[in-house]
Structure 1
Amino acid sequence: MSELLVVRPGPLTTVQDLGRRGVAHLGVPRAGALDEPALRAANRLVGNDPGTAALESTLGGVALRALGPVVFATTGAPAPVRVDGRAAAWGAPVAVPAGALIDIGAATHGVRGYLAVAGGIAVPPVLGSRSADLLSGLGPAPLSVGDRLPVGPPPSYRPAPDLVPLPAPPVELVLRLRLGPHTDWFDPWSVARLAREHYRVAQAGNRIALRTEGPAVARARGGELPSEGMVLGAVQIPPDGLPVVFLADHPTTGGYPVIGVVPPADLAFAAQARPGTPVRFVPLRGR
């Protein structure tokens, strides 16, 4: 079994797959890649199954030394790729020999990059997933210098696709919003204003939630709800009135009213929206 030695972990690099499904009733968050299409694309490029564990980097990239020959591919936030100091392809499979230094630079656009290797990152699974969960602490810790990451056996031969198209990181983040279940906690004009106003991605966001800056959403009633189950994409309105969009490491319960839920397909764009990116909520009518 080959290994990857962490030379530069970057600001935040974690192991992620498609997360822990079906365990929220145990109080365990889902975790998993924030940009699922990018993870799936990286795995497709190296011949892995779509949900195979890979690395998710944040803004600053990551550098790894291959302790055996590997094939890797990078997707997600575009970034310069170098192997032993020489430019290599982004968004395509790259074969490297044992001892090679794989260096993914800082993202030029977007936030989160994905590095998949043929065979996957073979850290031990916890509750059916190899994902790092920053809220509960389940799974492997974020990468540190000197970590050795096991690589699984290469998959059976699959012809690599010539192109895996992915959308560019958003210039404006447009989030569709299925209203409810607590829309009645807000005046109708507040809900209508949410659709008209423009927000921005706040600096304080993380893998748990995307936070926004902009006009406060006024409530129609005081007090708080008893804690209840939360779902991926739920948009909570805390006491400061600024919408918070729950991402993959979100808590399984919460007590602030939820004005609506963002469909999972839009959350990949949220994963790549840098602080300061304009945000617009678009309420969906009907089912």
Structure 2
Amino acid sequence: MTHAGSLTVEASGASTLVQDLGRPGLAHLGVPASGALDRGALALANRLVGNPDGAAALEIVAGGFRARFAAETWFAVTGAWGELRLDGRRAAPYAAARATPGSVLELAAPARGIRYLLAVRGGVDVPRVLGSRSRDTLSGLGPEPVRAGDVLPIGAPPEASVPLLDQEAAFPPPEGPVTLALLPGPRADWFADAAHRALFDGEWRMSEQADRIGARLLGETLARRVGGELASEATVPGSMQVAGDGRPTILLADRPVTGGYPVIAVVAAASLDAVAQMRPGQAVRFRHA
């Protein structure tokens, strides 16, 4: 296998995982798709360095990351918006930049959003598991979480060149309230009218209980009109399950493929990237898709 260099991780921050577009189509085996939570940020970072959209990159939560390049390498950082430094000098986010042999890249805590996506030209070339290089945090499939001292191989450069951009392609996550589009869930009729009004008219915030499996929301309790148990049924990314205490949780990429709580609504696919970048305490509003 030919590698174009490597990335030696000196500090991995709160969480750094290898992610690509995941392993869809395996739910019948009990395997969720996984993959980058902010898929748009992954695709953009890869396009900025000439990679295919699904090349493996690093998903870095909350900054605190530092790594050294072994060879000349183009890279781009998208998703969360924060201070980047290459060899101690400020580097632009949402833009391709060239590291030289021995260059050190540092990502500070983000000012907006929470998940950086770091793409390198050629992709992070770790072994595939079930067709994907993504880490699934629920099942443990895929490469181990990235730790300080890890040396990550970089794949051969793609045929496409690094594109020339006339303007910055920067769309940082918002600082204020985030509006998410909702579709009716398969068990919407299990909930009282007041619960549906509360969902769209109430005040909601992201809780600290948020990871790649699901994001729990703080707000009103959502009362059911249908009691009793629900047999486990299939879930999709964005499913809003409501537990017995009436609190909703948005299921994300590493969710179980089935669940036993009723789903009142489903976050539209176009809004899921925004969920990936929400910080604890950030306000969220819902609208009909």
TM class by smaller structure = over 0.9
Structure with greater strand percent: 2
Q: Runs of 5+ in structure 2 lacking a partner?
A: none
Structure 2 letter corresponding to 1:137: G
Aligned to 1:169: 174
Would you say 1:220 and 2:225 are equivalent positions?
A: yes
**1:25 equivalent among 3, 23, 28:** 28
Cα distance in 1 for partners of 2:266, 2:9 equals: 37
Structure 1 window deviating more from structure 2 (18-27 vs 190-199): it is 190-199
The alpha carbon displacement at 1:167 in A equals: 4.7
Residue 260 of structure 1 corresponds to: 265
Report the equivalent of 2:199.
194
Tell me what 1:269 maps to: 274
TM-score where L is the length of structure 2:
0.95
- The separation in 2 between residues aligned to 1:159 and 1:13, in whole angstroms, is 25
1:48 corresponds to: 51
Deviation at 1:211, TM superposition (A): 0.9
Aligned counterpart, 2:251: 246
SS in 2 for 1:224: coil
Distance in 2 between the 1:82 and 1:175 partners?
Answer: 33
Say which of 100, 103, 108 aligns to 1:100: 103
Distance 1:155 1:190 in 2: 51
Which of 81, 85, 99 is residue 82 of structure 1 equivalent to? 85
Distance 1:61 1:154 in 2: 27
Deviates more, 1:179-188 or 1:8-17: 179-188
For the Cα contact (< 8 Å) 1:5–1:148, is it kept in 2?
A: yes
| Alignment-derived partner of residue 122 in structure 1 | 125
Contact map agreement 1:61 1:107 (CA 8 A) in 2: no
The Cα offsets for residues 31-53 of structure 1, whole Å up to 9 and x where unpaired, read as: 11111111111001100001110
**CA distance in 2: counterparts of 1:126 and 1:187, whole angstroms:** 43
* In structure 2, distance between residues paired with 1:202 and 1:123: 33
d(CA) in 1 for partners of 2:241, 2:287: 16
User: Residue 168 of structure 1: CA displacement?
Assistant: 2.9
Q: Distance in 2 between matches of 1:176 and 1:48?
A: 30
Q: Please, what is the CA RMSD of the aligned residues?
A: 1.3
Question: Does the 8 A contact of 1:45 with 1:164 survive in 2?
Answer: no
**Which sections of structure 1, spanning at least 5 residues, go unmatched?**
none
Distance 2:32 2:177 in 1: 28
Q: 1:215 to 1:130 in 2, by over 3 A?
A: same
The match for 2:147 among 144, 148, 165 is: 144
User: CA shift at 1:126, angstroms?
Assistant: 0.9
| Residues 1:71 and 2:74 aligned together | yes
Of 16, 32, 39, the residue aligned with 2:19 is 16
Distance 2:174 2:38 in 1: 11
- Give 1:60 deviation, angstroms: 2.1
Q: Distance between the aligned counterparts of 1:244 and 1:74, measured in 2?
A: 29
Q: Identity of aligned pairs, percent?
A: 47
Q: Deviations over 1:59-84 (max 9, x none)?
A: 12411111222111101111111112
| 1:233 maps to 2:238 | yes
Q: TM-score, normalised by structure 1?
A: 0.95
| Counterpart residue type for residue 80 of structure 2 | A
Query: What count of residue pairs does the alignment treat as equivalent?
Result: 284
Any idea what SS the aligned residue of 2:109 has?
coil
The one of 184, 208, 219 equivalent to 2:213 is 208
- Provide closer, same or farther for how the CA distance between residues 112 and 149 of structure 1 changes in structure 2, counting only shifts above 3 A: same
Q: Is the 8 A contact 1:110 1:273 kept in 2?
A: yes
My pick for the range that moved more, 180-189 or 108-117, is: 180-189
Q: Match of 1:168, as an amino acid? A: P
